[in-house]
Chain A
Amino acid sequence: EAQVTQNPRYLITVTGKKLTVTCSQNMNHEYMSWYRQDPGLGLRQIYYSMNVEVTDKGDVPEGYKVSRKEKRNFPLILESPSPNQTSLYFCASSLGYTTYEQYFGPGTRLTVT
């Protein structure tokens, strides 16, 4: 089954404790992206990647890192999480970055205390 998976689905952590949210897709997609969703602010793009070793900032990249060492994986790294990074996070992928539909993962609900 074609899908985007994220782990963990739920995470409660404390300020400053490094964490990684994994994202994997099995569709051989070139383009991958991370969004965060907050009440009243909608979905906002954090980072994106057009292919292996090619990443760039989205609208809200501060406090986040990403890497794309393999085509299928695009982890989101929070080196020193803060409470304002409490949010619902979605990974997405698509065949390319232009007119192709994007497939979203199920989401990771992160709480930073």
Chain B
Amino acid sequence: DAKTTQPPSMDCAEGRAANLPCNHSTISGNEYVYWYRQIHSQGPQYIIHGLKNNETNEMASLIITEDRKSSTLILPHATLRDTAVYYCIVRVETGSWGKLQFGAGTQVVVTP
């Protein structure tokens, strides 16, 4: 299973872009990169996912390097409500249908 490495914490100023890095150097060719976030003890919330190409939706952008060994989640204009733990997940498929392997994530604190 591909594992991910994220910084344990980062701060971001309100209104600025937040760039959250993730390393997944052992990712397989058919594994997707997912991002979820969890606001204090609430249920995790899906943000975005991608395979090779960069993706953008109303919440964020996902930039995946060409070799797919790392990715960056971009929150374009961080707000106080974006304070949460952000999880970068590589989707485990074989033998564990649908399981999301959550790591420790990155605690993002958005400050005024």
Q: What's the dominant secondary structure at chain A's contact region?
A: strand
A56: CB under 8 A from chain B?
A: yes
Q: Are A106's CB and B98's CB within 8 A?
A: no
Q: Are B42's CB and A102's CB within 8 A?
A: no
Q: A99-B91, A101-B49 are in contact. Are A48 and B43 (CB under 8 A)?
A: no
Q: A50-B97, A97-B97, A99-B32 are in contact. Are A42 and B102 (CB under 8 A)?
A: yes
Residues of chain A contacted by B41 (CB below 8 angstroms): 88, 107, 109
Residues of chain B contacted by A103 (CB below 8 angstroms): 46
Q: How many A residues have CB within 8 A of the partner chain? A: 28
Q: Are A102's CB and B98's CB within 8 A?
A: yes
Residues of chain B contacted by A109 (CB below 8 angstroms): 41
Q: A7 vs B11: C-alpha distance in the bound complex, in angstroms? A: 35
Chain A residues close to B by CB (< 8 Å): 4, 31, 33, 42-45, 48, 50, 56, 58-59, 88, 90, 92, 94, 96-99, 101-107, 109
Chain B residues close to A by CB (< 8 Å): 32, 34, 41-46, 49, 91, 93, 96-100, 102-105
